[in-house]
Structure 1
Amino acid sequence: MKTHIGPAIRLTIVMLVLLSFIYPLVVAGIATLAPGGGKGETVTVNGKVVGYKNVGQAFTEDRYFNSRPSAVDYNAAGSAGSNKGPSNPDYLKTVQARIDTFLVHNPGVTKAQIPAELVTASGSGLDPDLSPAGAKIQVARIAKVRGISADRLNQLVDEHTQGPLLGLFGPATVNVLALNTALDALK
């Protein structure tokens, strides 16, 4: 047994140094090469930071495209899902409340037409994107509130739709912050 304790202690110390100090420094060094220098890519309008490109944020006014709900109230420091399963009664009440709210603000839309991402939070609670369908189902409401044609808003959604990675991987998405920023820029 004594022949195994020495190597185990040495291996533990080596792994502790490697994974607690060296690896984090390497990752932090690589992050500085990313857009935003590892601190997040900000979106700026007229010299003012309005949000982070890859972190969802709340848009609840009828004049904006609504974001995907967040289980952590869009707090990037506490990224998490609700951890409630699809049969949990509390979760079902929360989703039903979101459906009811969406239907009140979007008359003419039926429950069956609502894309799931508009009433369910993502695993991180910080998803900045919607599907094109999730954005387009909100067009009628925004067109009415802002006095902009639905065709122009659909065109705006199409302009901000990013296809799957390499045309193969993942779904098409629309970044809600970028879309709402462009919406505010419309004259």
Structure 2
Amino acid sequence: MNLIGQQFRPALVSLLVLTLITGIGYPLLVTGIAQVVFPAQANGSLIVEDGQVRGSNLIGQPFDDPRYFWGRLSATGVHPYNAFNGDALVGSSGSNLGPLNPALAEAVQARIDALRAADPQATPPYPADLVTASGSGLDPHISPAAAAFQVRRVAQARGLSEEQVRELVAQYTEGRDLGLLGEMRVNVLRLNLALDAIPFK
């Protein structure tokens, strides 16, 4: 019995000490550093306008109004992402449809039909990123080609010239990280918020 007690006490002390260090101390330290050094990123990279959270710079939102640019097929909720509002059904999750899943083909066809209905003048081929989801289903970006495909529809729906809309797309086109990593991309939410700042004609 004495031998068990000799082993149990150091094990219990080790558990408590490691719990304090790795379960409380380390998370508080990392969170504190993040809040000081990267406050926007640490709080979800939220896009705030006039004190209202409009979404996250890192998580896509579904758009289906012809006046807006549409992003990739999304696995996000119907409301803007806000990490601090759990009551608004803003949860996000990945999309796990494999290439042989019939639901994937159905989703692609449904998006093609929606794009055709929103702009009957649009002709194939449709940009791949407009009819498929990203690996996570949460990508907030589309390619410049996918944005260009939608310029006419958005311009007509808003009473703007196509040149105005193209200039706005160019303004919100992001380059490769460090000049060589990734691809050119357009953040759909930021572009749509910029569109909303232009008065309708």
Q: CA RMSD in A?
A: 2.8
Secondary structure at the counterpart of residue 100 of structure 2: coil
Match for 1:27: what amino acid? V
Counterpart code for 1:138: Q
Q: Which residue of structure 2 lines up, in the alignment, with residue 30 of structure 1?
A: 33
Gaps of 5+ in 2: 1-6, 82-89
1:121-142 deviation line (CA, Å, top 9, x unaligned): 2233222111111111111101
Q: For residues 15 and 171 of structure 1, do their structure 2 counterparts lie closer, same or farther at Cα, with a shift above 3 Å needed?
A: farther
CA distance, structure 1, for counterparts of residue 139 and residue 101 of structure 2: 22
Residue equivalent to 2:59: 55
If asked which structure has higher relative contact order (CA below 8 Å, sep 6+), I would say 1
Q: Which moved more, 1:92-101 or 1:103-112?
A: 103-112
Bigger CA radius of gyration: 2
Aligned-residue sequence identity (percent) comes to 45
Is 1:115 matched with 2:127?
A: yes
Alignment partner of 1:157 out of 156, 169, 193: 169
The alignment's TM-score, normalised by the length of structure 2, stands at: 0.76
CA pair 27-111 structure 1, distance change in 2 beyond 3 A: farther
1:170 is matched with which residue?
182
Instruction: Kindly tell me the number of residue pairs found equivalent between the two proteins.
Output: 181
Q: What amino acid sits opposite 1:171 in the alignment?
A: E
Any conservation in 2 of the 1:74–1:125 contact (CA below 8 Å)? no
Q: Structure 1 residues 68, 23: closer, same or farther in 2, change over 3 A?
A: farther
Identify the residue that residue 70 of structure 1 maps to in structure 2: 74
In 1, the alpha carbon distance for the partners of 2:53 and 2:91 equals: 21
Q: Which runs of 5+ in 1 are unaligned?
A: none
1:99 aligns with 2:103: no
Query: Do the aligned residues in 1 keep the contact of 2:60 with 2:76 (CA within 8 Å)?
Result: no
Distance 2:21 2:194 in 1: 45
Secondary structure of 1:87's match?
coil
122-131 or 77-86, larger mean C-alpha shift: 77-86
**1:74 Cα offset (Å):** 5.9
- Residues 4-60 of structure 1: CA deviation (Å, up to 9, x unaligned): x99xx79x9477666544443343223313142621233233443322222221222
